């Protein structure tokens, strides 16, 4: 059984930065896709950034501002978010695919002055 636990959300002013972390436990392998999705109020959950075999893919809306990183030895994935905008406000979910999709409980990110 895989479990994902996120941390690092919070309230930040526009232009600020936050770093999200996700710790995975269970049967995790370096080739499993891990990453981040987000869901804003009234909107569908959308991909933010994922990493597979060392290759990162980003949503166009976050390219150049967000950076995903992964530590396979520690089974952790991080999302460094810079130059945050109000439209980045959402619940951010850690994601892992290992035959099936696993999701964390979500962490709130609010960008507001």
Q: What is the pLDDT of residues 1-30, one digit of tens each?
A: 899 999 999 999 999 999 999 999 988 887
Asked if residues 55 and 81 have their Cβ atoms less than 8 Å apart, the reply is no
> What Å distances lie between residue 72 and 42, 50, 97, CA to CA?
34, 14, 14
Express each pLDDT in 23-55 by its tens digit: 999 888 878 899 999 999 999 999 999 998 889
Q: Are 39 and 47 in contact (CB under 8 A)?
A: no
How crowded is residue 15: how many other Cβ atoms within 10 Å of its Cβ? 11
């Amino acid at each position: 059984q895989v479990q994902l636990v996120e941390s690092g959300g919070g309230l930040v002013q526009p232009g600020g930065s936050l770093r999200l972390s996700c710790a995975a436990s269970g049967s995790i392998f370096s080739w499993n896709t891990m990453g981040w999705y987000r869901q804003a109020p009234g909107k569908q959950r959308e991909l933010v950034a994922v990493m597979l075999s060392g290759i990162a893919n980003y949503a166009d809306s976050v390219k150049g501002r967000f950076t995903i990183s992964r530590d396979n030895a520690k089974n952790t994935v991080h999302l460094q978010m810079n130059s945050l905008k109000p439209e980045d406000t959402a619940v951010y979910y850690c994601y892992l695919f290992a035959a099936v999709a696993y999701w964390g409980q979500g962490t709130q990110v609010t960008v507001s002055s």
